[in-house]
A and B are shown apart, each in its own frame.
Chain A
Amino acid sequence: MLSLVRSLWEVFRHTFARRVTVQYPEQKAYLSPRYRGRIVLTRDPDGGERCVACNLCAVACPVACISLQATEDEHGRRYPEFFRINFSRCIFCGYCEEACPTYAIQLTPDCEMGEYKRQNLVYEKTDLMIDGPGKYPDYNFWRVAGVAIGGKDKGQAENELPPVDTHSLMP
């Protein structure tokens, strides 16, 4: 008997407690910055594509949902000719982000990806590419990489010394 009264009191007390329910479509739940949701391709601070089409994300993916084709522009800068993620296969494990050496591929706190047609879950590069640098605003791979591309020759990258002339005896 006493325990029933105690239970009733417990429930009564809860009628005045703070509501924990989130009224979802109207009120969005908070997602942490680390949340592994919709995958995006980012750009470096200059606005160029970060992806160098090294294929590491495609290899790291446990479900093989990423496919891409590498190509080069006229300045020798590698980029993916197409970049396709099949989100109906993706398990959002974040391995692609972990593998990406240039911070190009990133997972974002967005989980609202419902589609009526399954085919629409195959995202092409135009769907994936965003206009900003994402979580890493300052990193610019092509500014620090030693490779020569149009407008930046060997030895002109940040923290890089000019190349050594191997035919000269001078130090």
Chain B
Amino acid sequence: MPTSVEDLINPGVDDVIADSKLHGNIDPAQDQTMVLNMGPQHPSTHGVLRVVLEVDGESVVALAPDIGYLHTGIEKTCEAKFYQQVVPLTDRIDYLCPMTNNLTYCLAVEKLLQLEIPERAQYLRVLLNELTRLNSHLVWLGTHAMDIGALTVFLYCFREREEILRIFEMVAGQRMMTSYFRIGGLSMEPPIDFYDRVRNFLKIMPEKIAEYENLLTGNPIWMGRLKDVGHLSAADAIALGVTGPPLRASGVDWDLRRDMPYSGYEKFKFDVPVSQVGDVWARYEVRMKEMYESVKIATQALEGLPDGRITADAPKIILPDREQMKTQMESLIHHFKIVTEGFAVPAGQVYQGVESPRGEMGYFVVSDGTAKPFRVHMRNPSFATLQALETMCKGRLLADVVAVIGSIDIVLGEIDR
């Protein structure tokens, strides 16, 4: 019988089950707890997360998440691709924020290449990233509320998410696997009606967020399920490497957009919502406030959008302009060289962290001076936050585990990659 957390984790969760009461040989007098399997097909585990729980009646004694069901080998696959070919792979790590992953990877490689990105491209990147954050938070809110039992919110959230996805489709050509950012800029200029559409969307969005809050914030069932559930102290959060909204909900005022600005975030004015409570409710509040802030940043980026190029001035890295290619031999040669041979990135290693909707998304890229990355490692916010699951759930009721999993907003594609 597993008696402690170490017993649950160290021998591997499957050994725990093999040793446990499922296979008998336990003195019935000692038999107080039960090992319970939750997932990987459980609807509230947001994908294919398996949680092995040891429960005493309805309260959780110990808990161990089991990951790996969604392993895709993306990190390894990156090593066989040219630098520019990795961009479509980064979409597929976190299906809720493809633009953030595109951005993080591009920023990391641009750091190695020491590329200067034009301001227009930076602003568009910020704009699209904030829309991505809204998109991701809408899915989080919808599914979190659905887990607790409020289905209506889910439908309303997906209505607005649809509009964001339409905008992505319009600008990048696809709703989820956008692959819109390129190393050195953007793949193409946004279409003309993009700006009006985004402006209209940002105008209506705050009242839509108020609509969701109307349905949830004062609701006694919602409050009862969320308040004083899943506490995470600031010290624990820092020790476990938790980042993003769960960290800020625990009272740590840390946001990479403000504290380690990238892609021109230092030019935007926004508040970082922080709560001192550290329970599921605090995480809900922080994310809801963050959505208003995202609308603010996106509006600033749209209104202050400067003119100019959308790609850096680097003819050996960025594909040349199509019109130039038709008349200039050099452009055509560069085009053929870049597509067939890629571009060599100076040897070195670089880490770039970005505030993704879930926390600190980081790419660690090692280059050996060739056109293919030697190693690409992703630092995933969900992976670290999932470790805090046990701290948050221990001693609580089984039903609270669902609320906590919803509140940490995990994406399994990101954890297993």
Contact = CB atoms under 8 A, between A and B. Distances in A.
A93 B179 contact: yes
Given A10-B211, A95-B85, A20 B218 contact: no
Given A34-B170, A91-B177, A59 B340 contact: yes
Contact of A107 (B171, B173, B340): B173
A36 B339 contact: no
Given A3-B220, A20-B162, A92-B177, A32 B326 contact: no
B215 interface: yes
**Interface size bucket, B side?**
35 or more
A144 B340 CA distance: 23
Contact of A34 (B85, B159, B173): B173
A3 B174 contact: no
**Interface size bucket, A side?**
20 to 34
Nearest to B87: A93
Contacts of A60: 85, 339
Nearest to A35: B173
A149 B300 CA distance: 55
A7 interface: yes
Given A56-B339, A59-B340, A20 B159 contact: yes
Interface in B150-187: 152, 156, 159, 162, 166, 169-174, 177, 179, 187
Given A91-B88, A95-B85, A101-B325, A3 B219 contact: yes
A48 to B, nearest CB: 18
B217 interface: yes
B24 interface: no
A20 B161 CA distance: 12
**Centre residue among B85, B171, B172, B339 by max chain A CB count within 10 A:** B339
A4 B169 contact: no
B21 interface: no
B298 to A, nearest CB: 20
Contact of A32 (B159, B170, B187, B340): B170
**Centre residue among A7, A31, A91, A107 by max chain B CB count within 10 A:** A7
Interface string A8-22: 001100100000100
A19 to B, nearest CB: 10
Given A3-B217, A94-B179, A99-B339, 11 more contacts: A3-B214, A3-B218, A11-B215, A34-B171, A34-B173, A35-B169, A56-B340, A92-B174, A93-B179, A94-B173, A144-B326
